[in-house]
A and B are shown apart, each in its own frame.
Chain A
Amino acid sequence: MREIISELSKKLHSGEVSSVELTSEYIKAVEEANPKYNAIVHTTFEAALEHAEAADEMLKEGNADTLCGIPMVMKDNICTDGLLTTCCSNVLKGFKPYYDATVWEKLKEKGAVLLGKANMDEFAMGSTSESSCYGAPFNPRNTGHVTGGSSGGAAAAVTANMAAYALGSDTGGSVRQPAAYCGIVGLKPTYGSVSRYGLIAYGSSLDQIGPLTYSVKDAAIVFDAIKGFDRRDQTSKAFDYGNILDYLDRDIKGVKIGIAEEFFDGIDPDMKTQIFDAVKLFEKNGAEIVDIKLPALKSALPVYYIIACAEASSNLGRYDGIRYGHRTGSYDSIDDMIYKTRSEGFGAEVKRRIMLGTYVLSSGYYDAYYKKACVIREEIRREFDETYEKCDILIAPIAPTTAPVLNFKGLSSVEMYLSDICTVPINIAGIPSISVPCGIDKKGLPIGMQIMGKRFDDAKVLNMAYFYEQNSKDWAGNFEGGVRI
C-alpha cells in the first residue's frame, strides 16, 4: 500500500530529499504526464518552487507538519490568491481571486506546495469531467475512459503520481466517484467539518471539500489538516475529532455494518460481488451485518437535482461580465451584454442546470418542486439518522458501473444523472463517506466501495476504510510513471 504522504514526509524530515528537489521531480512528472491526461489546467510551478523553499526553511527549523514540503494540486474551484481559479468555465477564464480559500490558507501555513489547479466539470456540474472548457481529463488506468467527475482532474493527477494528493469538492459524489473510477481514495467529510470559504459555490447546502489520495492514511492526514471551524463560514461547525490518526488502527470488532438493498438496485453484478466480498472480510474480523431499509433513497436523485440546481441558479447569477472573468466583445445594452456574456461563457450542462434551477424556484412551481424537495430532504436525513441507531456504518457501491468510455454520446442527461444515485443521498444527509478501491472489473477498471457514517463520525469511516485497505489486496496498485521516490 503506497502511503505517499507518510513516505515523502519521512524523506523530507530526514533530509534525504529537500522539498525543492521533490517539487522539481513533480514538476517534471507533470510536464511529462499532463499532455497525456489533461489533469492539470493551470500549473503554478513558479509559486510551487517558492512554497518549496519556504517549506525547506520550516523543515530545517524542525517541528514541521507532515504535509510540509509535499506537492499537491487543488480543484480549479478553490480560490488561490493571485493564481488562476476558473472552475474550468469560459465565463471565469483568466480569473485570479484576490484572496485564499480557508483550506488553502491552512495548507499553506503547514508548508504545502501547490503545483497547479486540477481539471474538473464546469462549475463542478457533471459526472465525467467532460464539461470542462479545457476538455476532459483522461483516466490514467485506461485513457479511453473517463476519470469521473466532477473532480476528475484531481483524481487523475493523484492516480498518475503527478501530485501526492489533491483537494476536490463533492456536491453529489464529485470526490468519491472519480476516486472510484481512478482506483484511489476519496473522502467526503461531514458537511460543516471543512470550511467552504473560498470554494466557488455550486450547491451551497451540499458542497463539501474533501481529499483525493492514494491511501486511506493519506486521506486522514489531509482531512486532519483542513478540518475545523471557520468564523467566515456560518455553516462550519466546531467539532472535536481528537486525534484522527490514532483512530485508524482501532479494532473493528462489534462494528455494525448496515446493508441497504436500495443501494444495490441496478448495480453491475460483478461490482456487487466484489463489494460483498469486502463486507465478508469485515464480518470475518468481527463486524456484524445488519439489514437496513432506506425507502426514501428512491427520492434522493430528484431531490438532489432540484436543490442543487436551485442553489446553482442563484450562485451563478453573479457571472455577468461586469466584475470579473469573460465579457462579450460587442453589445448594444447592458441586458444584451449580460445575455451574450452568459450565452458564450457557460457550457450546455451549466445552462441546463441554471434553467432547471430557475424553473423550480419560480413562483407557481416553488411549492411543487423546491419546497417539496426540502420536505423530502428532511425525510431522507431522518431516515439516515434512524438507520444509524441500528448500525454504525453503511456500505454501498459508489456508482452503478465502473468508468464509462469517453465521449459516449449514448447517455442522455438523465441517464448520466442516474449514475450519481449511490452518492447523492450522502450529500443530502450531510454525512461523511469514503470511497476505497475494492476490486478490478473484467475490463481492468477499478471498482470503488463506499463506506458511510453518521454526521461527524468521519474518524470511524476512515477507521473502517483503513482496516479494509490493510487487510485486502492492494487494489490501487502501483501506477507506472509519475514521481517514484
Chain B
Amino acid sequence: MSYEVVCGIETHIELNTDTKIFCNCTTAFGGDPNTHCCPVCTGQPGSLPVLNKKVVEYAVRAGLAVNCKVNTISHMDRKNYVYPDLPKAYQISQYDEPLCENGYIILDSGKRIGITRIHIEEDAGKLIHEDGYTYIDYNRGGVPLIEIVSEPDISSPEEAKEYAEKLQLIMRYVGISDCKMQEGSMRCDVNVSLRKFGSNEFGTRTETKNINSLNFIQKAMYAEIERQTDILDAGGTITQDTMRYDDVTDTISPMREKENSDDYRYFPDPDIIRFEVPQAKIDEIKASLPELPFDKLKRYIDGLELPEMTAKHMYRYRKVCEFFEEALKLGAGVKNASNLITGTIYATLDTEEDKENFEIKVSPSQFAELVKLLDEKKINFKMAQTTLQEMLVSGNPASNYIKAEDMEGVSDDEITKFCQEAIDANPKAVEDIKSGKDKAINVMFGYIMKQTKGKADVKKAEAIIRDLISKM
C-alpha cells in the first residue's frame, strides 16, 4: 500500500551574538569545560536572568527573513523539566506568545512550506560520558537559540532537505548564525507520519531528534518512512516514539518511548518582565535586512546575465557574494570576475565550509585590479589565472607578478615570426594538419606561448598559422 508522507521540522539555530542570552558570558564555541560560565548561566541559587536585547533583535531578523509576523509584545516562559544539562531545572523559552509567527519558505518547485512560529530560548549544557562517569560542561548553557517550527507541509525527504537547506541559507545571509550543523549550531528534529492517500486524518508521528547534517535529514526520513510503511502494511500501529538515526549503519530505532506526554508546566518567567519590540524597531530591522539569497540568485541571472550554473555556484555563499559585488563596485567586469571566482578561487577552496568561510588572501580591490586588466585585454585569461593563483598564495597585488612590458601584448609581426618558426620546427604537425588532424595545431601553440610567455592571442595565432600553411 502506498502512503502520503506528512512531515514537519523543528529547527534549533544558535544565534551568533557575542554574549549569552541571560548574562555577559561569551558564546564562543569550545574552550576548556566550564570556563565560559557565571552564576547566571549555571543557574546558581539567587542568580537572575537578564534578557539580551541583541537576541531579540536577531530573532526578529530571522523572523522577517522568512516572512513572519513579529509580535510587538512578548514574554518568556519557564519550561520545567529535570535533566543534568539544564542547571535551573527549567529552560527559559517562549510558549504561548512566540516572538514571530506565520511565516513561510518557498521551495524551488514553488511549493510553500509554512512556518508556524519562531521563538527564542536558551541552550542547555553538554554531557560528556567517559570512563563510567558523566561530566557536565556548561559552556554552551545559555547560548541563545531560536527554534523555527514548520507546518506539517513537507511531503518528501527531498522537500525536507530542501527546506532545511533554504532555511540554513537564509539564516546565514541575514547574519544571525553560521548554521554549522556539524558543530551543532543548527540542529533539526524531524517529525514524520504516514497516512493513506486521500485521508484527512494525520497518522501517529514520530520525532527523530538532533539531526546534524542535511543529508542525514533525507536519509533518516527514508529510513523512518520505510519503517512506518512496513509496520502499517503488516497491520500494525505506530507508537509515538522518539527516534534515533544512526548515520554509520543508516538505521533508525526508537530512543525512548514516550510513556506520557511530557508536562512541562509552562508559566511566565517571573524574573523577566514582558518586553516590547516597538513597530519602529521592527521596521528598522526590516530595512536593514540584506538582499535574500533567492532574490540575489534571480538578480545574478536576470540582471547581471550570469549563466545559471555560475550564479548558483556563487549565491549560496554570502561572503563570496560580498567579495564579488565589492569587486564589481570597484569596476571589475561581471563575466571575468565570476569566472575567476568560480574557477581559480574555488579551486583553492575544497569544501563547502571553505567556500562558506571564504578566507582568502586577496582583497576585493586587488581582485578588481586584476579583473580590470583582463577586461581591458591588457592580459589574457590564462595570464590572469596564473597571476591570481600567485596572489592567492602570497597575498601580493597583481602588479608584483605582471610587469609593465608584459601587458603590452605581442605585435602582429612578432606573432607571425613565431608562427613561422613553429611551422618550420614541426613539419610532422604541418602534415597532420593538412591531412585533417586539427589537434596537431596545439603543438605549435605550445611553442608560441613559450616564446611569448603566454602573452600571444591564441585566436590570432591560429589564424596566422592556418594562413601560412595554406600558402605552403
Complex contacts, B51 vs chain A, CB 8 Å: 234
Which residue in B40, B84, B89, B134 is a CB contact (below 8 Å) of A317? Answer: B89
* Given A97-B39, A197-B48, A204-B270, 18 new contacts (CB under 8 A): A77-B46, A95-B45, A97-B44, A99-B47, A197-B47, A233-B50, A235-B273, A311-B270, A314-B78, A314-B89, A314-B90, A314-B265, A318-B43, A318-B88, A320-B89, A322-B136, A324-B44, A363-B263
Asked if B90 and A232 make an inter-chain contact with CB atoms under 8 angstroms apart, the answer reads no
Interface of B is mostly: loop
Which chain B residues numbered 85 to 135 have a C-beta less than 8 Å away from chain A? Answer: 87-90, 134
A352 located at the interface, meaning its Cβ lies under 8 Å from any Cβ of chain B in the complex: no
Given the interface pairs A314-B78, A314-B90, the reply to whether A232 lies near B265 with Cβ below 8 Å is no
B231-268 vs A: 1/0 string, CB under 8 Å?
A: 00000000000000000000000000000000101110
A238 located at the interface, meaning its Cβ lies under 8 Å from any Cβ of chain B in the complex: no
Q: Which residue of A lies closest to B51 (CB)?
A: A234
Complex contacts, A408 vs chain B, CB 8 Å: none
Q: Give the number of chain B interface residues (Cβ < 8 Å).
A: 30
Q: Which residue of B lies closest to A307 (CB)?
A: B270
Which residue in B89, B265, B270, B273 is a CB contact (below 8 Å) of A361? Answer: B265
A348-388 vs B: 1/0 string, CB under 8 Å?
A: 00000000001001110010001000000000000000000
Asked if B39 and A98 make an inter-chain contact with CB atoms under 8 angstroms apart, the answer reads yes
Q: Give the number of chain A interface residues (Cβ < 8 Å).
A: 43
B272 located at the interface, meaning its Cβ lies under 8 Å from any Cβ of chain A in the complex: yes
A→B interface (CB under 8 Å)? 77-79, 85, 87, 92, 95, 97-99, 101, 196-201, 203-205, 231-235, 310-311, 313-314, 317-318, 320, 322-324, 334, 338, 358, 361-363, 366, 370
B271 located at the interface, meaning its Cβ lies under 8 Å from any Cβ of chain A in the complex: yes
Given the interface pairs A317-B89, A323-B87, the reply to whether A199 lies near B270 with Cβ below 8 Å is no
Asked if A198 and B271 make an inter-chain contact with CB atoms under 8 angstroms apart, the answer reads no
22 contacts between A and B (CB under 8 A): A79-B44, A79-B46, A92-B45, A95-B45, A99-B44, A196-B48, A200-B45, A200-B46, A203-B270, A231-B50, A232-B40, A235-B48, A235-B273, A310-B267, A313-B80, A313-B265, A314-B78, A314-B267, A317-B88, A323-B42, A323-B43, A363-B263
Asked if A234 and B49 make an inter-chain contact with CB atoms under 8 angstroms apart, the answer reads yes
Give CA–CA (A322, B42) in the complex, Å.
Answer: 12
Which residue in B40, B46, B50, B84 is a CB contact (below 8 Å) of A322? Answer: B84
Which residue in B46, B87, B273 is a CB contact (below 8 Å) of A101? Answer: B46
B375 to chain A, nearest CB (A): 55
Asked if B46 and A201 make an inter-chain contact with CB atoms under 8 angstroms apart, the answer reads yes
Asked if A99 and B39 make an inter-chain contact with CB atoms under 8 angstroms apart, the answer reads yes
Give CA–CA (A443, B44) in the complex, Å.
Answer: 44
B20-59 vs A: 1/0 string, CB under 8 Å?
A: 0000000000000000000110111111111100000000
Complex contacts, B136 vs chain A, CB 8 Å: 322
B402 located at the interface, meaning its Cβ lies under 8 Å from any Cβ of chain A in the complex: no
B120 to chain A, nearest CB (A): 15
Give CA–CA (A15, B174) in the complex, Å.
Answer: 65
B256 to chain A, nearest CB (A): 13
